[in-house]
Structure formats: structure tokens, C-alpha cells
Amino acid sequence: MKLSTSIGLGLATAGVCGAAVLLSGAVGESSPVPATCPQRWGSDDIGGWVPAAADIDGVEESLVPGSPVKALICAYPGDNTRPGGERLAGSRTLTDQAAAMAGDLAYLPVTTADVGRACTLMGGPMTNYLIRFAYPDGRALWVGSAEEVNRCVRTTNGTASSTSYAGPAITTAYKDGIWRPVPPEDPCRGPGDRRGQDELMVPGRPGRLTVCRDATYSRPPYRKRHNRDIARALAATLNSLDTVPSDNTCKGLGGATQRGIRLIFDYPQGPAAAVTISMNCAPAVNNGPLQADLDDPVRDQILRLAPS
């Protein structure tokens, strides 16, 4: 692993951005692309930018398709109150850690549509990142994102994007040369972002369900676990709802006082998928990319599984 640092701004936060391009010497009609970091961040966006989008199979369904063998991380630190044109501060090349990094980013849910979200507006340091994943056949894929205080970052490969937040893990990889996403001490507080949640509330075949009650997690008991059969039955129910692309907002229901519920679906491999149930709001069901209304039978089914 190699770390190079240029003079200027120090590392304060992390992000991810990307696009796929042909490496120098690759066969094809596209012009060769240098295998080095751009000297400046080429956008006013915090995250969500790549130098170019490449024609690689699977880029619409996954941030990092296939099996890259090397990752070049480029860091562009700055301030989120004055974004745009940040200078390259340094780079690190990962080899033995590249596959794990690519695999975890590939698990994040993506969409080719715009996804709305509510963001806090705290000012502070941020770091944009470009990650260039190199493949054995000579092709490469850029992924771009950022770490910043509001966690309101878009990650992209130039074709598909994700609102899932990977900033701290990317910062650790850049600074220490280790890809090490840290699981939450409390599963109720985990991110719960999994590939396929742009198509289904609960993708795949979960192996366990944790039902978390009350977003503040301050009144025990607030957590209750259930086995595979219950997890898959509730997943099927949620997947039967009529969904719309999420703008991650909802309209409050007057007079409603029920505490919110968060559903964490765990899998034998890869990250969990989380679904938030806002009992006092409509639409009440939200997994990040998708939203749906909550009818009484589904509400009753969830309440029966929740801690009392």
C-alpha cells in the first residue's frame, strides 16, 4: 500500500465519487485515461462527481460491478460552506484490500433517478474522494463520494448513484490503508443500506429480524429479535405494498402519538436492510430509496412483533 501526501489542506472528512473509464493500453475506441488522480475536484457538489462514466456491464445496478484488483483513493479536503475545485491533497493505492472495499460498496442500494432527502445544514470540514478501481482486463471504474458533517452525500459511478453514507470507512482506508467498515454497537442504530432496496422494501432472503421501537432508543425494552421465518414473512408483506420513489419526507398526521419503529433485516452475507415505520406520518414506510403507505393489517402485524 502506498500513501502520498501533497502540501495544503489536511484530511478532515471522506467521500466517494466515481466513473468507469478505459485504462491506458486497453482495447476500444475510447481515448486512454491516465491512471492518476485529477489535480482538482471537478464539481461544486459534495461527492456525486466522477471524471467520466465508463461502459462496463453492471454499472446501472451496482456502484462497483465485477472484481477489481486495485483501488486508487484520491482525497480532496475542503470546507462544506465553500465547495468546489478542491485541490488534491494525497492518494493511497490499495491492493489486498481492494476486493473487500469494492464488495461492500457494491452492496449499497443504487438508482439512476434523483432521490430526495432532508439534510441538516451544519458548516464544517469535508473531504471529497475519488476511488479508481482497476480490473484485470485493463479497464477501470471511478467512484466518487465524500465525508462531511451532515452525512448528506451522494455517491456515484457516473451512471448510478446512492445516498448511502460510506464516508468514515473511506477515510480510514485512505489514512490507514485498511478497508474496515465498523459495525454499530447497537443494531438499531446501523445504516441498514442494502443493494436492491431501490426495487423492493426488503430485498433477498433475510435471516433475522430486529424490531426497534422509539427513534430515541431511550425507553427500554426497545429491541426485540425474531427468527428467519418471521423475518421473511414480514419482508414479503412489506414487498407487497405499492411503492413510490422516496423523497425521504412525510406529512404529519394530526393527533397520532405512536412511537416510530425501525426494522432491521440481517442476512448471512452483506449488510442489513432497514425499513423505518413512521406511525405518525404519511407515507409511513420508508427504506431510503422507496416509500409506501401503511394500511391497518400491516400496521397490526408490525405492532405484534414490536417490543412492548
Q: Each residue of 139-182: pLDDT tens digit?
A: 999 999 999 988 888 899 999 988 888 999 999 999 999 998 77
- Whether pLDDT at 29 is above 60: no
Highest mean pLDDT out of 66-75, 221-230, 248-257: 66-75
- Domain-embedded: residue 115: yes
Average pLDDT, the chain: 83
Q: Is residue 24 over pLDDT 90?
A: no
In this model, does residue 13 exceed pLDDT 90? Answer: no
pLDDT exceeds cutoff 80 at 23? no
Distance (Å, whole) CA 260 – CA 286: 12
Q: What is the DSSP string of 41-61?
A: ---SSSB---S-----TTTTT
pLDDT of residue 18: 35
pLDDT in tens, 261-276: 999 999 998 889 999 9
| Domain match, 140 and 207 both | no
Number of folded domains that form the chain: 2
Domain that holds residue 41: 2-176
In this predicted structure, the answer to whether residue 111 has a pLDDT above a threshold of 70 is yes
| Pair (229, 285) in one structural domain | yes
Q: Tell me: do 132 and 168 sit in the same domain.
A: yes
Find out whether 66 and 56 touch, Cβ atoms under 8 Å: yes
Give yes or no: residues 15 and 143 share one domain.
yes
Q: What is the pLDDT of residues 202-214, one digit of tens each?
A: 999 999 999 998 6
pLDDT of residue 28: 38
pTM passes above 0.75: no
Question: pLDDT band at 14, cuts 50/70/90?
Answer: very low
Amino acid at position 87, single letter: R
Do 56 and 103 belong to one domain?
Answer: yes
Residue 15 has pLDDT above 50, yes or no: no
Is 297 in the same domain as 208?
Answer: yes
List the 290-292 sheet strands across, edge first.
223-226, 208-213, 261-266, 273-277, 285-286, 290-292, 243-245
Once rounded to an integer, what is the mean pLDDT over residues 56-66? Answer: 93
Exposed, middle or buried by CB within 10 Å (0-12, 13-18, 19+), for 234? buried
User: Residue 153: inside a domain, yes or no?
Assistant: yes
**pLDDT for res 32:** 41
Note whether residue 129 is domain-resident: yes
Q: What is the pLDDT of residue 285?
A: 95
Does residue 289 share a domain with residue 163? no
Q: What was the pLDDT predicted at 35?
A: 78
222 and 292 assigned to the same domain: yes
